[in-house]
Homo-oligomer: A and B are copies of this chain.
Amino acid sequence: MTTEVTSIGPTPPREAEIPRIVRAHGGGGELMGRLIRDHLLPVIGNDCLSALGDGAVLPVLDGVPVMTTDGFVVQPLTFPGGDIGRLAVCGTVNDLAMMGARPVALSLAMILEEGLPMATLDWIVASISAAADEAGVRIVTGDTKVVESSGRTPGMTITTAGIGVRAPSVNLGPGQIRPGDRVLINGTLAEHGLAIMAAREGLEFETELTSDAAPLNGLVAEIMRFGDAIRFLRDPTRGGLANVLADVAEETGLGVEIEESALPIRRSARHAAELLGLDPLTVANEGKCVIVVAEDAAEEALAVCRQHRYGRDAAVIGRVTDSCPAVVELLTTVGGRRIVQRPYGEELPRIC
Q: Which residues of A contact B (CB under 8 A)?
A: 22-33, 53-61, 63-73, 94-96, 98-99, 101, 105, 107-111, 140-151, 157, 159, 161-164, 166, 173, 234-235, 237-239, 243, 282, 284, 342-350
Contact = CB atoms under 8 A, between A and B. Distances in A.
14 contacts: A23-B349, A28-B346, A29-B243, A30-B345, A54-B99, A54-B235, A55-B96, A56-B66, A59-B65, A61-B61, A69-B143, A73-B147, A111-B157, A161-B161
B28 A343 contact: yes
A54 B110 contact: no
Contacts of A111: 71, 73, 111, 157, 159
Chain multiplicity (copies)? 2
A112 to B, nearest CB: 10
Contacts of A99: 53-55, 57
A67 B58 contact: yes
A239 B144 CA distance: 14
A346 B65 contact: no
Contact of A345 (B27, B64, B347): B27
Q: Which 8 A-B pairs have the closest CB atoms?
A: A24-B345, A27-B346, A28-B238, A150-B150, A55-B68, A161-B161, A28-B239, A159-B159
Nearest to A74: B145
A49 B151 CA distance: 34
A110 to B, nearest CB: 7
A65 B163 contact: yes
A343 B67 contact: no
A346 B29 contact: yes
